[in-house]
Amino acid sequence: MKKETLIEIILGTIGGLTFALGMCMCLIPEWNLFTAGVVIAIIGALILLAIIPIHKKANPSKNHKPINWKNVGFVVIGIIGALVMGYGMTRIMTGNPTQIDYIIGIAVGIVGIIVCILNYPIYKYLVDKN
């Protein structure tokens, strides 16, 4: 294993955990850490983005194509769907949820799941159409 590959794995793990912790801090109201959660999630995202130049430097022989913004858009839509689903789950699982919390949490979670499920078929349709 090359040194750069190990660095990519370590940065991916640290960045993913930092991003996830920031999202938990944002979405769990009992913690009262929304602002700090946003900052930590942004730091995690920046750590994850730092992997790109390391990968390009470690693999100069690969033909690095320009960024396909359609793919980036679909990844962002998938992330948004996962966050919406996570918000629905935290609405149900934290504190003492009322019946309204259950209804809202399940409805929002289902919307997030639908966004995640429909993301790939729409992507595949648009790619095949072109």
Fill in the amino acid letter for 117: I
How many domains does the chain fold into? 2
* 42 and 82 housed in the same domain: no
Q: Which residue has the tokens 């980036």?
A: 72
pTM of this structure? 0.57
The pLDDT score that the predictor gives to residue 64 is 67
The pLDDT score that the predictor gives to residue 18 is 95
| pLDDT tens per residue across span 56-87 | 888 777 776 787 888 888 889 999 999 999 99
DSSP secondary structure code for residue 40 in this structure = H
DSSP secondary structure code for residue 59 in this structure = -
Domain that holds residue 12: 1-62
The pLDDT score that the predictor gives to residue 66 is 82
| pLDDT tens per residue across span 104-126 | 999 999 999 999 999 888 888 88
Q: Is the dihedral of CA 74, 76, 79, 81 positive or negative?
A: negative
DSSP secondary structure code for residue 50 in this structure = T
Q: Which residue has the tokens 């289902």?
A: 110
Instruction: Output 5 or 80, whichever has higher pLDDT.
Output: 80
| pLDDT tens per residue across span 25-57 | 988 888 899 999 999 999 999 999 999 888 888
* 77 and 124 housed in the same domain: yes
Q: Which residue has the tokens 């109201």?
A: 29
The pLDDT score that the predictor gives to residue 1 is 64
d(CA 17, CA 8): 14
| pLDDT tens per residue across span 89-109 | 988 987 788 999 999 999 999
* 119 and 94 housed in the same domain: yes
* 18 and 77 housed in the same domain: no
Residue 91 near residue 105, CB atoms below 8 Å? yes
Query: End of a domain among 31, 62, 93?
Result: 62
